[in-house]
Structure 1
Amino acid sequence: MKALFLHDNLMNKHNNYFYSNGLPSNVWTERYLKVFDQMVVCTRVVEAVEDCSKTLKLSSADNVEFDLLSIGVNNISFLSKRKFIEKHIEQAVLKCGYVIARLPSIIGQIGLKYAKKHKKPFLIELVGCPWDAYWNHSLKGKVIAPFITWRTKSAVKTAPYVVYVTNSFLQGRYPTSGKTIGCSNVALTEFDEHVLTKRTDKIKGMSNRPIIIGTTASVNVRYKGQQYIIEAISMLNKQGYNFEYHLVGEGDNSYLRSVAEKFGVTDKVKYLGPMPHAQVFQYLDNIDIYAQPSRQEGLPRALIEAMSRGVPSIGSNTAGIPELLEKESIFKNGNIGDICGILKKMDQKTMLIQAKINFEKSKEYAKSILDERRIEFFKEFRDDVK
């Protein structure tokens, strides 16, 4: 049994191996290959000029075939090479018995078109909200957001099987008449009760030092919302508080630097750059509050990881974030007053309560639990057409 996986994710090819930021080899081996004999992966690809094994994760694996599209990273490529792309994807669909389309993605949408044409059983994985993704991206994004959203709603509505990464948000915005499961792509492997004890001691030992807020996200995309936290700590510090903001993430931080300069907190905002995943947990253990101020998300891995370290956390009312945090920790998207109000209430008692709540909530995202649920759903999809 061969299944085709379609998405817009970018693969990097080097020495006949494939590397990716979002699709490591264990996704194939621990998820799809538990159900299907072979996977065929159809995404974008670029030739890596130099070794990328230290910056990206190996995606190549046994029983995984890569049938990739050399169309670059610009969506204009889809328009100029549309006929070639359509033919390529149709041939890939014809060679496989099952189709798994991860949306939102253009490649995924095309794959669904041909799965329906050739009567191939298909399943949709909805991993984000295209409206939020495109509307908050750029002026061009605002133009195409209604069309992409409509296409996604139409595809999901009639899909026989849908995997949502949220428990309620995406289900409400993109409903289906088919069978569904809410199963996050975030999967935590370890839970150490000592982590919560250490966090509790850290909170109890807080003195007059600065309170450190942290966010893990790319620093070159404005929809991640770090600018709102920068403005908020500026207002609070002028009122006598002492907040710092430590940012982990890749990209050009010149915009955020300009925001910090505008609001007079250049000395209070630290840019730590990209960080190996193994070091992220050390970073999380050193901050006092985690902030997820995004304007566009699915169910943020970074927030769940922070919660698994017992970090008191706040977040915007975007997508699946309210599914993770207590109502008192949620602020209206981009509302500086809301952010300030929540941070003012972050006293020792509140932080101790949040640390325990967040740590316990994160256990719902244990890899063993999510993998079992997802695999059983995939088996149902597979066996439904036998």
Structure 2
Amino acid sequence: MKVIFFHDGPIKKDEDNNYYGTAHNDDTFKRYYQIADELGVVIREVSVSKSEAEQKLSKITVSPFEVVACPNISSLKGILLKEKKAKEIIYKEIEKCDYVVARIPSMIGFIAIDYAIKLKKPYLVEVVTCPWDAFWNHSIKGKIVAPFMYKKTKDLVRNAEHVLYVTNEFLQKRYPTKGKSVNCSNVALKKFDNSTLENRIKKITNMNKDRRVIIGTTAAVDIRFKGQQYVIEALGKLKSQGYNNFEYHLVGGGDQKYLKNVAEKNGVTDRVKFLGSVQHNDVFKWLDGIDIYVQPSRQEGLPRALIEAMSKGLPAFGARTAGIPELLEKEFVFSNSKNNLREICNILTSFDKETMLSQAKRNYEESKKYDSSLIEERRRNFFRLFKESY
């Protein structure tokens, strides 16, 4: 029996035909062997050198594992020039598989669902983010596309018989289904050690008022809806008010030009550090070294990076986007409005030692809800229900 996973991706491939990913990795893919003993993936491929991949990405080693490259149809140009070819590939793969898993919003996922219905193949839908937020906050072109993506997602999810959501409430309310559903975050934390919290408490207790407070974010630095620019602008505002103790560290790949320009414009180039891509295992070491984590994005599902930061006992704050407010206390959530800079500044200046200690303890305990054993048990039960329905 074979299950095929459909998503825009991308996944990365080196010159020796090895595959690598960040969001798409062994932990992601091994779940689907609970549905069938063979796994295929229809996804967009991007080339990467082996040396770069081994330094910065997670190698995919699950087996049996087959990747079928699909053209990029996530842009208007791609749809016009490559949609026919993509549809041929997707149709052919669905014809020969037993089960379909479509992660949406994605153009490849949308087409896969349409063909699974046409060919009467069992399909499961994973809803991982809000397309309205993703496209509306992306660009002028995104605002044109947003209504179509919103309606398409709403219609497909409503009529699907099995839907997995990554949030506890947000996506369920915006994209409800008439079928069976479960909430299973893509975040699955494997190890909790109380010494992590003890070390964080010791670090906060030993902070002196003259030391720089390091804020951190992990996200691509060339996608504007990730929101790092708002934190940088807030640092400029705080500097003008006499607060010079904050430093912002950014982990993530991509072109740094835009954010560097924002830092220069706001006079904080010496307070913004770009660390580039970091392997996932090394991100946890980096989290140990920072003081506050921020998730400023205007498009999310339930952010893995924020939950991982909370599991390290980090005080945190974030935007009122998708599942972020499900994770944080309301005092540490800022709006996606013209007032957001003032709100970010107020939150940052509210982090005295007592507040940081209470938030460290609270966030560590909250992150335990994402223990892999709890989440994977829910996922296994839902996958079993999916299989037994056909």
TM-score range, shorter chain: over 0.9
Report deviation, 1:45.
2.2
What's the CA shift for 1:71? 4.5
Partners in 2 of 1:236 and 1:336 — Cα distance? 10
Q: What aligned pairs does 1:324-363 form with structure 2 within 5 A after superposition?
A: 324-333=327-336, 335-363=340-368
For 2:359, the aligned partner's letter is Q
Query: Contact 2:188 / 2:375 at 8 angstroms: preserved in 1?
Result: yes
Aligned match of 1:372:
377
CA shift digits 1:356-377 (9 cap, x unpaired): 0100111111112111110110
Q: Hey, what does 2:201 align to over in structure 1?
A: 200
Q: Does 1:37 align with 2:37?
A: yes
Q: C-alpha separation between the residues in 1 aligned to 2:290 and 2:49?
A: 37
2:213 counterpart residue number: 211
1:283 pairs with 2:299: no
Query: How far apart, CA to CA, are the structure 2 residues paired with 1:124 and 1:183?
Result: 12
Q: CA RMSD for the aligned pairs?
A: 1.8
SS at match of 1:67: strand
Structure 1: distance between partners of 2:330 and 2:213: 22
Match of 1:25 in 2: 26
**Which residue of structure 2 lines up, in the alignment, with residue 118 of structure 1?**
119
Q: For 1:9, what is the secondary structure of its paired residue? A: coil
Cα–Cα, structure 1 residues 191 and 2, in superposed 2: closer, same or farther, change >3 Å?
Answer: same
Q: Does 1:87 align with 2:92?
A: no
Output aligned runs, 1:44-55, within 5 Å: 44-48=44-48, 50=50, 52-55=53-56
Of 314, 322, 325, which aligns to 1:322? 325
1:128 match: 129
Determine what percentage of the aligned residue pairs are the same residue.
Answer: 51
Change (3 A) 1:198 1:138: same
| Secondary structure of 1:213's aligned partner | strand
* Cα deviation code 1:162-210 (max 9, x no counterpart): 0000000111111111111111001111111011111111111111212
Identify the residue that residue 3 of structure 2 maps to in structure 1: 3
After superposition, the C-alpha distances for 1:210-253 in whole angstroms (9 at most, x for unaligned) are 22211111111111111111121222233232212122221222
Report the TM-score, using the length of structure 1 for normalisation: 0.95
Aligned partners of 1:290 and 1:312 also within 8 Å: yes
- Residues 339/47 of structure 1: CA separation in 2 closer, same or farther (3 Å cut): closer
CA distance in 2, matches of 1:163, 1:333: 27
Shift of 1:59: 2.8
Give the deviation of 1:73 after TM superposition: 7.2
Residue 232 of structure 2 corresponds to: 230
Post-superposition shift, 1:28? 2.5
Opposite residue 12 of structure 1, the aligned amino acid is K
> CA, structure 1 residues 345+35, in 2 after alignment: closer, same or farther (shift >3 Å)?
same
Partner of 1:101: 102
Instruction: Give the distance between the partners of 2:347 and 2:46, measured in 1 at CA.
Output: 44
Bigger shift: 108-117 or 15-24? Answer: 15-24
State how far apart, in whole Å, the 1-side matches of 2:19 and 2:295 are.
31
Q: Which moved further from structure 2: 287-296 or 81-90?
A: 81-90
Cα distance in 2 for partners of 1:276, 1:222 equals: 22
* CA distance in 2 between partners of 1:148 and 1:237 (Å): 40
CA distance in 1, matches of 2:50, 2:40: 25
Instruction: Confirm or deny: 8 A CA contact 1:44 1:73 kept in the other structure.
Output: no
For residues 214 and 13 of structure 1, the distance between their equivalents in structure 2, rounded to whole angstroms, comes to 29
* Pair 1:268-2:242 in alignment: no
Distance in 2, matches of 1:53 and 1:7, equals: 23
SS at match of 2:7: strand
Distance 1:234 1:47 in 2: 38
User: How big is each residue's C-alpha offset from its partner over 1:87-113, in whole Å with a ceiling of 9 and x where there is no partner?
Assistant: 221121111121111001111111111
How far apart are 1:70 and its partner, in Å?
A: 4.5
Q: Which residue of 2 aligns with 1:383?
A: 388
Offset of residue 294 of structure 1: 0.7
Q: TM-score, normalized by length of structure 2?
A: 0.94
Q: CA deviation at 1:266?
A: 1.7
Aligned to 1:172: 173
Match of 2:186 in 1: 185
Distance 2:50 2:357 in 1: 47
User: Residue by residue, what CA displacement relative to the aligned partner does 1:60-95 show, whole Å, maximum 9, x if unpaired?
Assistant: 532222232245875523321222221221121111
Whether the 8 Å contact between 1:46 and 1:72 is mirrored in structure 2 is no
Question: CA 1:331–1:47 in structure 2 vs 1: closer, same or farther (change >3 Å)?
Answer: closer
Shift of 1:36: 1.5
Q: 1:63 to 1:311 in 2, by over 3 A?
A: same
Give the one of 295, 311, 325 matched to 1:292: 295
CA distance in 2, matches of 1:238, 1:48: 43
Letter aligned with residue 367 of structure 2:
S
Verify the 8 A CA contact 1:45 1:72 in the aligned structure 2.
no
Distance in 2 of aligned mates of 1:261 and 1:28: 41
- CA distance in structure 2 between the aligned counterparts of 1:325 and 1:313, rounded to whole angstroms: 8
Match of 1:259 in 2: 262
- Segments of structure 2 that go 5 or more residues without pairing to the other structure are none
1:2-50 CA distance string (max 9 Å, x none): 2121111123333233333322233222x11123121221112245465
Q: Kindly indicate whether the alpha-carbon contact (under 8 Å) linking 2:102 and 2:125 is maintained by their aligned counterparts in 1.
A: yes
Q: Which 5+ residue runs of structure 1 have no aligned equivalent?
A: none
Count of residue pairs brought into register by the alignment: 384
For residues 74 and 319 of structure 2, what CA distance do their matches in structure 1 show?
29
**1:349 CA displacement:** 1.1
Q: Secondary structure at the match of 2:55?
A: coil
Q: Secondary structure at the match of 1:275?
A: coil
